[in-house]
């Protein structure tokens, strides 16, 4: 494929050297190298002897080099647009310098007595304003971000360079008495312009951030060599040791070659410009300040008198360095504070995830396989519900209190960090047993209630443990296994789980897959309800049913609640799930009532549902939309949910009960049973867990618990529902103890609505009402 050729206009606009410019460059540099080599040969002893026999040859070489340098820089400025203004100024300065040199060699050297000052002096001095302007133009074009430290670096560098240049140019400087006015001006101008140029060059480098861009370094080197050659020339002239056609002439030519090389450097993108390391940016100003101190010490100890300008400039450099040092100390403190803040959690002031990971990486590098390191992930249970119910302000305050309590309970060797949200991380130099001891202590500390703005909350947590090297030897593997173990602990309600390498990976993949499939299932209506009847022992009639959710998975078939409910609750899907279950249950209740079957339907609520202040209004709207009286709906909550936030639970349940909805405490006896809560909560039923009911006919302790719970419920004006009735013997015992309602596999398994409808019609004890009455 043909690539379009780049035009000369495009090359000039982009900073590229066009073809004609490259030709001039090759020719000019070739000629310059020949002239420069000739000048160096002339400076050798044998060359000096040959030059004495051929006077004017060295002058020809010098004039040719100066004119060629001015021409090459001018060609660069004309052919390349980038930095054109700066290089036009430099070309103008070099032209003035070359013109002065040519005028000196062609005219003034022929006179027996050269005038001073002359036209050549004016041309040579005219070079400096052009050079100053070119340097400043290049500096401005780079658009360096100049802070206070950059300006101080520039001042230090400029003052130090000017101080040393003034020593070179002003030491032994003869007075101006007896000279004409113009002679005095010119004599003073030469050292002053070189001092200013030296200060400007080093100061500009400092302002550039001490960058080592080639064009910048070559230009500074070229102009610096030129200034040095001027100083040597003045020193030799002052002391009467100057010889024409010497190495000084060669140095001036080298300076011009460096300036031309700088002019023809290709463009450098700002992103590609090298940035010196921080130590260099600090060390260079410090070195210049030390050099200024050495200069002052030399002036005080030496018999030679140091020029006042040198002392003054060195003092300025030192004072600027002191200010720079104070600024650097402040910057270092700010960086240290920023580094600390970047590794500290703003809310809890614990180390954050970044520091946790860095510390874990360091610990793993230092350890061998004989030194164990435990990694624990601590996740607060149902924290999202607290945020949703009470707001983020109270949630943040709770996290702060949790952090304080964890820190106090931890108090050992290792690291406790907040990883984000309601998740904390723990690093412990311990085996599994030691880590279990510490994490158990943390859970014990969290079980104490938290008093928050007139609200008392109970917080639980799930902890996953992984230990180096058994469960992994790198950070990602250990964290993955600890995270999977934490989810297992949350799902199994075991509170603490230790990683199992192979099983954890499989469990993690299954959990993520199940979660994504559940999201799709909720969207696609894959949830169904099975209903288990509840029998009134006094009458033998079916008084109601409990709606039990199932997931009709497209490939796995029927999935029971323990396979997805805890995952849905942790992922924040339980609200959507409960909404669908309530809607399906009320729809089926309406269908039964339409065919004359009068039943109550019980629906389970989760903790997040109970903490939702909009729950009562949502339930009321659902009842009205389906035409179901409130008395036909029973809502069940676990006692563990009630104990988490009894005040909020009591408030929401009271609103539901005032609507005429019956309430039940599900799984009674499996959580933190408390008579105080039972006395205060507005509930109508206690539902005794199957763990006590299933063996009450054979186990005396279970029998005593069931019998006393029945009496307790009746004494509190509640009714008792016994679930898990598996045998006729258990049913007889419950009837003997005056239990109110029963449900279990001995009576009926949970069934789909159509099967249960047929089952109900086959029972003569099922109460029936006419369709017209149901509609009424």
Paired strand residues for 531? 547, 751
Whose CA is closest to 522, among 575, 477, 563, 486? 575
What's the token pair of residue 373? 């390191």
Helix, coil or strand: residue 205: helix
User: In angstroms, how far apart are the furthest CA atoms of the chain?
Assistant: 146
What Rg do the C-alpha atoms of the chain give, in angstroms? 46
Q: What is the pLDDT of residue 585?
A: 94
Q: Which residues of the chain have pLDDT under 50?
A: 1-15, 46-47, 49-51, 53-54, 174-178, 270-272, 765-776
Phi, then psi, of 721 in degrees rounded to 5:
-110, 125
Helix, coil or strand: residue 700: helix
For 179, which DSSP code? Answer: S
Which residues lie below 8 Å from residue 237, measured CB to CB, with a gap of 6+? none
Q: How far is CA 307 from CA 47, 287, 558, in A?
A: 38, 22, 99
Could you report the per-residue pLDDT of 156-183, keeping only the tens digit for each? 777 777 777 777 666 655 444 445 555 6
Phi, then psi, of 634 in degrees rounded to 5:
-115, 140
What's the token pair of residue 738? 């005056």
Q: What is the pLDDT of residue 337?
A: 66
CA–CA distance, 251 with 228 (Å, rounded to integer): 9
What's the token pair of residue 402? 């949790």
CA–CA distance, 130 with 67 (Å, rounded to integer): 16
CB atoms within 10 A of CB 757: 17
Q: What is the pLDDT of residue 589?
A: 94
Does residue 544 contact residue 599 with C-beta atoms inside 8 Å?
Answer: yes
> Could you give the residue ranges of the DSSP H alpha helices within 493-636?
501-524, 565-570, 574-594, 607-610, 615-626
pTM: 0.47
Phi, then psi, of 4 in degrees rounded to 5:
-60, 135
DSSP string, 193-237: HHHHHHHHHHHHHHHTTS---HHHHHHHHHHHHHHHHHHHHHHHH
Phi, then psi, of 32 in degrees rounded to 5:
-60, -40
CA–CA distance, 217 with 641 (Å, rounded to integer): 73
Q: What is the pLDDT of residue 336?
A: 61
Which residues lie below 8 Å from residue 542, measured CB to CB, with a gap of 6+? 533, 534, 535, 536, 599, 760, 763, 765, 766, 767
Q: What is the pLDDT of residue 766?
A: 42
CA–CA distance, 430 with 435 (Å, rounded to integer): 6
DSSP string, 451-497: EETTEEE---EEEEEEEETTT-SSHHHHHHHHHHHHHHHHHHT-SEE
CB-based burial, 523-541: b 16+ in 10 Å, e otherwise: eeebbebbbbbbbbbeeee
Question: CA neighbours within 13 Å on the CB side: how many for 464?
Answer: 26
């Amino acid at each position: 494929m043909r690539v379009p050729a780049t035009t000369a206009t495009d090359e000039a606009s982009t900073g590229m050297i066009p073809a004609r410019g490259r030709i001039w460059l090759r020719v000019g540099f070739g000629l310059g190298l020949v002239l420069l080599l000739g000048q160096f040969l002339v400076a050798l002893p044998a060359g000096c002897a040959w030059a004495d026999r051929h006077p004017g040859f060295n002058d020809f070489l010098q004039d040719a080099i100066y004119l060629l340098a001015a021409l090459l820089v001018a060609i660069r400025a004309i052919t390349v647009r980038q930095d054109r203004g700066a290089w036009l100024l430099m070309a103008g300065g070099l032209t003035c310098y070359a013109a002065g040199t040519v005028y000196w060699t062609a005219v003034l050297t022929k006179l027996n007595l050269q005038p001073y000052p002359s036209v050549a002096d004016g041309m040579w001095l005219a070079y400096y304003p052009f050079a100053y302007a070119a340097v400043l133009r290049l500096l401005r074009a780079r658009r360096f971000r100049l802070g206070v430290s950059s300006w101080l670096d520039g001042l230090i560098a400029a003052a130090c360079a000017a101080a040393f240049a003034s020593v070179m140019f002003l030491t032994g400087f003869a007075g101006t008495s007896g000279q004409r006015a113009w002679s005095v001006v010119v004599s003073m101008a030469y050292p002053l312009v070189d001092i200013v140029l030296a200060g400007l060059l080093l100061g500009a480098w400092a302002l550039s951030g001490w960058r080592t861009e080639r064009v910048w370094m070559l230009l500074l080197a070229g102009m610096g060599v030129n200034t040095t050659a001027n100083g040597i020339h003045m020193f030799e002239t002052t002391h009467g040791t100057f010889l024409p056609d010497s190495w000084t002439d060669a140095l001036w030519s080298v300076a011009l070659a460096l300036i031309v090389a700088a002019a023809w450097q290709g463009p450098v993108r700002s992103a590609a410009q090298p940035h010196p390391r921080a130590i260099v940016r600090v060390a260079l100003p410090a070195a210049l300040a030390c050099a200024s101190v050495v200069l002052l010490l030399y002036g005080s100890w030496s018999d030679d008198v140091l020029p006042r300008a040198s002392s003054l400039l060195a003092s300025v450099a030192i004072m600027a360095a002191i200010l720079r040092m104070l600024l650097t100390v402040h910057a270092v403190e700010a960086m240290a504070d920023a580094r600390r803040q970047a590794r500290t959690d703003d809310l809890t002031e614990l180390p954050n995830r970044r520091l946790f990971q860095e510390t874990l990486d360091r610990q793993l590098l230092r350890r061998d396989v004989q030194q164990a390191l435990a990694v624990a992930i601590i996740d607060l249970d149902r924290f999202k519900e607290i945020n949703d119910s009470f707001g983020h302000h109270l949630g943040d305050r709770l996290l702060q209190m949790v952090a304080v309590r964890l820190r106090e309970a931890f108090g050992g060797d290792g690291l406790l960090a907040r990883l984000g949200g309601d998740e904390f991380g723990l690093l412990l130099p311990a085996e599994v047993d030691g880590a279990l001891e510490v994490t158990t202590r943390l859970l014990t500390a969290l079980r104490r209630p938290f008093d928050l703005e007139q609200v008392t909350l109970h917080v639980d947590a799930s902890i996953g443990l992984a230990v180096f090297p058994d469960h992994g030897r790198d950070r990602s593997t250990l964290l993955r296994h600890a995270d999977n173990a934490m989810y297992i602990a949350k799902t199994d309600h075991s509170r603490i789980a230790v990683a199992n390498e192979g099983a954890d990976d499989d469990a993690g993949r299954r959990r993520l897959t199940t979660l994504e499939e559940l999201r799709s299932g909720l969207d696609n209506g894959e949830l169904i309800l099975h209903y288990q009847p509840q029998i009134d022992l006094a009458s033998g009639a079916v008084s109601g049913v409990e709606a039990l959710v199932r997931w009709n998975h497209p490939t796995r078939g029927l999935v029971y609640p323990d396979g997805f409910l805890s995952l849905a609750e942790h992922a924040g899907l339980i609200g959507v799930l409960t909404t669908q279950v309530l809607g399906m249950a009320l729809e089926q209740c309406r269908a039964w009532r339409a065919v004359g079957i009068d039943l109550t339907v019980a629906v389970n609520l989760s903790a997040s549902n109970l903490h939702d202040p909009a729950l009562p209004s949502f339930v009321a709207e659902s009842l009205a939309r389906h035409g179901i009286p409130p008395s036909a709906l029973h809502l069940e909550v676990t006692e563990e949910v009630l104990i988490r936030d009894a005040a909020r639970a009591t408030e929401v349940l009271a609103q539901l009960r005032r609507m005429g909805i019956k309430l039940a405490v599900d799984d009674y006896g499996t959580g933190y049973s408390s008579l105080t809560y039972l006395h205060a909560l507005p509930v109508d039923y206690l539902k005794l867990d199957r763990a006590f009911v299933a063996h009450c006919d054979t186990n005396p302790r279970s029998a005593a618990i069931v019998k006393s719970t029945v009496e307790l419920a009746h004494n509190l004006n509640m009714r008792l529902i016994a679930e898990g009735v598996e045998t006729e013997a258990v049913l007889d015992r419950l009837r003997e103890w005056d239990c109110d309602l029963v449900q279990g596999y001995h009576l009926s398994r949970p069934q789909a609505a159509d099967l249960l409808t047929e089952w109900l019609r086959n029972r003569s004890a099922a109460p029936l009402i006419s369709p017209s009455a149901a509609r009424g």
